[in-house]
Amino acid sequence: MKLIKQSVLLIGLLTLPIPLYSQSTADNPANMIMKKVIEKMRVNEEIKRKHLNFKKHFVDTKLDDSGKPKKIIADQIIEVKPPKGDEMLIREDGETKNQKQDSSGEFEKIMEALSLLFDYETTRPTADCPNCPLISKNGKAYLVISFRTNGRVRANGDDVKEIMNRSAGKIHVDIENLYVQRFESNLTKTYDRGWGIFQLKQADSVLEQSEIDTPEGKVIVVTSSTIKYRYSFFGEKLGIRSWTYEDYHYVP
């Protein structure tokens, strides 16, 4: 479903909210860090669009009531080409394709969400994360930032914004290079459409990124993204969508 796919890319390409304890928004360290992260994202995205060719492998799997895989609904490979980041469906369910995909406006919506829809807070220590807000993975240090929507921006019926306005979660920011290494998000309340005929009840997202070396310097790229969803539309449906990003190479 287009709605679920958009929610992943949005909800999945990165970040978000809540003011730190008693501090004001202006002097909240999490807000200041995220401002820098967002600025870097804009520059990074331009380099990706102009110079990176890569493939996205998308799989949509239907799950049974116990959460076990039941049936693959869709299996696609999409190639992303510079200099404009155009997307082409090159394989679907084992068959060769050559079909342009519409991805216009996705990054811009992400930027609007990160800049306007969310408040940020450094994550407090919990049983699951006793060392928060600082953690280490694979020899690198990360700052864990929690987020939630602030309710200050109206979605006006836009599906992506409506979903983001119902989201909360955590992000891991690479302290050395200031980028979002991991993003986790879930719905805080149901999203209804059509007088409640359609209800999105679950959208648990995880997105991970890494850096690659290019002639332009290090570029941040997505490595994987998943969303586990549950919605009702004349019957309840449960599934998981996954994107694997591969074959990154630089094009002068």
Q: What tens digit of pLDDT does each residue of 157-200 get?
A: 778 778 888 899 999 999 999 999 999 999 999 999 888 899 99
The tokens describing 75, both together, are 């299996």
pLDDT score at 7: 37
pLDDT score at 34: 93
pLDDT score at 192: 92
Distance CA 248, CA 30 (A): 31
Q: Alpha helices, DSSP H only, in 98-248?
A: 106-112, 159-164
pLDDT score at 24: 47
**Phi/psi of residue 111, each to 5°?**
-60, -40
pLDDT score at 26: 53
**Phi/psi of residue 16, each to 5°?**
160, -125
- The string of pLDDT tens digits covering residues 213-227 is 999 999 999 999 999
Nearest CA-CA partner of 7 in 177, 221, 226:
226
Containing structural domain, residue 173: 2-250
Amino acid at 232: S
Place of tokens 């209800």: 199
Sign, CA dihedral 35-158-203-245, equals negative
Q: In the chain, how many domains are there?
A: 1
Mean pLDDT by 10 residues, the chain (252 residues): 39 33 59 92 94 97 94 96 95 95 73 82 92 94 93 76 88 95 94 91 94 96 95 94 96 96
pLDDT score at 228: 96
